A and B are shown apart, each in its own frame.
Chain A
Amino acid sequence: KAGVTQTPRYLIKTRGQQVTLSCSPISGHRSVSWYQQTPGQGLQFLFEYFSETQRNKGNFPGRFSGRQFSNSRSEMNVSTLELGDSALYLCASSLAGATGEYYGYTFGSGTRLTVV
């Protein structure tokens, strides 16, 4: 079966611009999470969506936002880009249910964002 698909794979943006990243989860997975990976901070949780609702949010500024559609596909948006937003953005999907029980995550290969 198809894995988690993230588009685009690479992106270069200028400071001050905004960017939208897309994630298509594994079919049947209703939970989608986003993570940021940088050399300095490692892998950090951004937010998690389940059935179009954000259930959990990490410690990131309001410039980082996301949404989930009825088909479970998700997008994350970063506005007013800063140089420090350059990172690998990873999406993960899970069978996690309505009460948050854990079934393991499958990650995509990520979108490499470079802000210049």
Chain B
Amino acid sequence: DAKTTQPNSMESNEEEPVHLPCNHSTISGTDYIHWYRQLPSQGPEYVIHGLTSNVNNRMASLAIAEDRKSSTLILHRATLRDAAVYYCILVPVQGAQKLVFGQGTRLTINP
């Protein structure tokens, strides 16, 4: 399973943008980059995913490096409810029957 590397923790202030980095230097051409987050006392929640191009949805944006060896999850305006552990996961296009979670990044939002 291809691995990802994320900082253990990050801190930001409410209403400011947050950029969460992820390195995946061994990514293969058929791996999607997925982000999940886990709020306290809940199961993980899907945030966003992409293959090559940058992606936007109502929750966040995903910026993917041209060589695909790194990506950044962008929360445009953090709220206290965004405090969670964020996981960057590589998911093969086919045969993806499991998610391999790393340790993730614990994001703290200061009021």
Contact = CB atoms under 8 A, between A and B. Distances in A.
Interface of A: 4, 31, 33, 35, 42-45, 48, 50, 55-56, 58, 90, 92, 96, 99-102, 104-110
Q: How large is the interface on B (under 10, 10 to 19, 20 to 34, 35 or more residues)?
A: 20 to 34
Interface in B84-111: 87, 91-104
A55 B41 CA distance: 29
B47 to A, nearest CB: 10
Contacts of B101: 35, 42-44
A74 B92 CA distance: 24
B43 A55 contact: no
B62 to A, nearest CB: 14
Closest 8 CB pairs of A and B: A107-B43, A102-B96, A43-B101, A45-B98, A56-B97, A100-B95, A48-B97, A90-B43
A29 B100 CA distance: 20
Given A42-B103, A102-B32, A96 B96 contact: yes
A26 to B, nearest CB: 12
29 contacts: A31-B97, A33-B97, A33-B98, A35-B99, A42-B102, A42-B104, A43-B44, A43-B101, A44-B101, A45-B99, A56-B97, A90-B44, A92-B99, A96-B96, A100-B94, A100-B95, A100-B96, A101-B93, A101-B94, A101-B96, A102-B91, A102-B92, A102-B96, A105-B44, A105-B46, A107-B44, A107-B45, A109-B42, A110-B43
B46 A104 contact: yes
A55 B98 CA distance: 10
Contacts of B98: 33, 45, 48, 56, 58
Contacts of A107: 42-45
Contacts of A35: 99, 101
A92 B104 CA distance: 18
Contacts of B92: 102
